[in-house]
Amino acid sequence: MKNYLWQEGGGSIDAAIAEFTAGEDVVLDRQLFVFDIQATAAHVRGLQRIGIVSDSECDTLCRLLGELRAEFESGSFVLDERFEDGHSAIEVYLTEKAGPAGARVHTGRSRNDQVSVATRLYLKDRLARLTGLCARIAQACLDKAEAEPDLPMPGYTHLQRAVPSSSGLWMAAFAEAFTDNMAFAGSVSGVVDSSPLGTAAGYGVNLPLDREGVADELGFARLQVNPMYAQNSRGKFEIMALQAALHAMQELRRLAWDLSLFTTSEFGFITLPSQYITGSSIMPNKFNPDVVELLRGRAATPEGAIAEIQSVLSLPSGYQRDLQLTKAPLIRGMESSLQALAIVPALVQGMAFNPDRMREAISTDMFATDIALERAAAGVPFRDAYLQAKKELDRLDAPDAEASLAQRVSPGACADLRLDLIRRRLAILSQDFDK
């Protein structure tokens, strides 16, 4: 039997209806429970400051909340189907151990209010993790580009060999991309960093709640001022956080795609660390880049989560029970993304280039663009130079790939990667993040 605090004296509860309305909340709330406890303690201290909870009651409740957190983290308290959700579990625990004092804990807040602040704290925590992971991946790519900047490798457009490129250029592309992803996650965090606690069901309460003090205690940068908007922003902020995760995962998908191609026998440009490949279940000769393939596929999870939440948000102003359905896709999308991103730095650090295979894949015709540009620089109109080079494709000599790359002097190109600029921006963003 679940503990339904809100149903006291309201008659029996149909089991099928109870299961339908509660859904998987109690399981999902395991991800939010620590944050819910943290917010409840801050709320109790706020109630103490306005005289709703006595000093001794405040001390007792905060001590019990600390004990509940410790029991939950140790596994001795299990958030399970005994409870409707994490919010009711907290109140049940406090009421059982502190009596009437425990029953005061919900004064001035609604369950909507409670889940909003717990979710908001969760978002702050996960966006911080996301920002840090993007920084680590960018750093790993930079280090790889710096360690082996000049290895020739084909550059592709439309999956066709195009022009000579380099390992440094390829790795630097991902370094800059993940630096941008870090910046985007940080900007989303700046929007999300606002406290909705104290807005109750979206219309405030007839109590002088210390919303500012509670927000400061919880580490929020500011209040989410308007109580109705606090409810209306549910789902919106979740989508923003998932978009930050998706940006990183889309770039990871691109990297995984490249690795899937470059590690094939046909390419053979890169060898993966052994822990990232698995053997075939039936073919003794076969090894598969399973981890890379799953990294590629994981981008679908935040993408699907965003679509799911967007479908829910076709709602009027104010709280609607539909908003409960944003919790599952949010947690699924964020946790899946963070798990995937966490294994990427070691993957980048451990993969090895095969210079001979990369150099062999650079065919003579790939230097035609170089020839056209050299003639254009000598005064031939570029379109004429282009047509001349096109006619001479079969007669081109095999140039030196390293020499060709050394002449690629446009800013950011192979001979001038500007890794220092990417590294400097990454360092500045990291400093801002640490603040």
Helix (H, G, I), strand (E, B) or coil at 155: strand
Region label for 210, one of left (φ > 0), alpha (ψ between -120 and 50) or beta (otherwise)? beta
Give catalytic residues, as residue numbers: 158, 280
Question: What is the phi/psi pair of residue 414, to 5°?
Answer: -55, -35
Q: Are 124 and 116 in contact (CB under 8 A)?
A: no
For residue 141, list its beta bridge partners. none
CB atoms within 10 A of CB 45: 18
Place of tokens 């609604």: 110
CB atoms within 10 A of CB 419: 20
b/e map of 207-236 (b: 16 or more CB within 10 Å)?
A: bebbbeebbebbebeebbeebeebbbbbbe
CA distance 113 to 146: 49
CA distance 26 to 86: 6
CA distance 240 to 243: 5
CA distance 151 to 217: 53
Q: Are 236 and 299 in contact (CB under 8 A)?
A: no
CB atoms within 10 A of CB 320: 15
Q: Are 213 and 46 in contact (CB under 8 A)?
A: yes
Residues in the chain: 435
